[in-house]
Amino acid sequence: MRDLFTKTKAEFHRQQSSLLQVELAMCWRNADLASRMYHAGNHTVAERTIADAESSYATVVQLMSDPARAKRLTIKATQEFTEKLHALRGRLNDLKRLRN
């Protein structure tokens, strides 16, 4: 029974990392789509898509900032997610400049 618990716990931690990866990927996709929409002149869809990207970004930041959840990530995973978040923040800031 103990072995099953250990395996289940390990799988749960892997799934948490996968959730962060999916949220980041969705945010990048939305940021790219918003950029295309701006360049195509469809500002309404671009604004809505940026809002979705910002929401995904906020979710990842919140999960990474929660000590109870973040401690389950490896140091390498934490560093990788942090790097991706910084790059993504830059991309979202670039999109904000497109608005103006």
Q: What is the pLDDT of residues 28-80, one digit of tens each?
A: 999 999 999 999 999 999 999 999 999 999 988 988 888 777 777 788 888 99
| CATH code assigned at 13 | 1.20.58
Separation of alpha carbons 10 and 8, rounded Å? 5
pTM: 0.78
Q: What is the distance in angstroms between the CA of the first residue and the CA of the last residue of the chain? A: 60
pLDDT of 12: 55
Q: State the amino acid at position 52 in one-letter form.
A: D
Domain hosting 59: range is 2-99
pLDDT over 90 at 88, yes or no: yes
User: For the chain, what is the domain count?
Assistant: 1
pLDDT-derived band of residue 2, with 50, 70 and 90 as boundaries?
low
Question: Residue 17 in 3-state DSSP?
Answer: helix
